[in-house]
Amino acid sequence: MDAQSVKNTATAENKGYDAGKKISGIKRHLAVDINGFPQAIHITRANVSDRDGASAMIALYANDLRHVRNVLVDGGYSGANFKLDVMSNLQATVQVAKRNELHKFEVMPQRWLVERSFSWLENCRRLWKNCERQLHTSAMMMTLAFISVLLRRF
């Protein structure tokens, strides 16, 4: 599970400011399976924190994610409240993949799965920036992009 902040164009109505990445736009929350295929997609304004957006996504898709037993996340999702949300909605454990303390670049196999899925989306030019006025339209464009990725794979 991870989130990605995306800049808005001038026509977009729903936007927020992500102070961490200094981006005015939206945030895409994505939960993927072991193959990198999307299991849940949720779009929020960029000012929503990763934990709050992921908790909302889990609450929305709790029925679809009922077979999940372990949720892999990065350090931005650490915290007791998020673990309680995951446990109450999914009855799953949270495993936080932490970076190396030496601050040198290493590929983390757990994090690579969701980052690969975000890179698949970067092949769709329409998703480089958020051009949509409504958040649900952005979610549909993301779904269509994943459908095209899956069709090219099979």
Residue 31 lies in a domain: yes
- Domain span including residue 23: 2-67+108-153
Average pLDDT on 38-42 reads 95
In a domain, 143, yes or no: yes
Residue 46 confidence (pLDDT):
93
pLDDT of residue 49: 92
What's the confidence (pLDDT) of residue 101?
A: 57
pLDDT of residue 69: 93
Q: Give dist(CA 32, CA 70) in Å, integer.
A: 12
> Quick one: pLDDT at residue 20?
86
Domain for residue 41, yes or no?
yes
pLDDT digits (tens, 9 = 90+) for 44-80: 999 999 999 999 999 999 999 999 999 999 888 988 9
25 lies in some domain: yes
Q: Is residue 24 part of a domain?
A: yes
In the chain the first and final C-alpha atoms are separated, in Å, by 24
138 part of a folded domain: yes
- pLDDT at res. 144: 94
- pLDDT for the residue numbered 127: 87
Q: For the chain, what is the HEC assignment?
A: CEEEEEEECCCCCCCEEECCCCEEEEEEEEEECCCCCEEEEEEEECCCCHHHHHHHHHHHCCCCCCCCCEEEECHHHCCHHHHHHHHHHHCCEEEECCCCCCCCCCCCHHHHHHHHHHHHHCCCHHHCCECCCCHHHHHHHHHHHHHHHHHHHC
How high is the pLDDT of residue 100? 62
User: Would you say residue 15 lies in a domain?
Assistant: yes
- What pLDDT score was predicted for residue 68? 94
Dihedral sign for Cα atoms in the order 47, 132, 38, 85? positive
Total domains, the chain:
1
Residue 57 within any structural domain of the chain: yes
pLDDT of 83-140, one tens digit each? 999 999 999 999 988 766 556 666 666 778 888 999 998 888 888 888 888 899 999 9
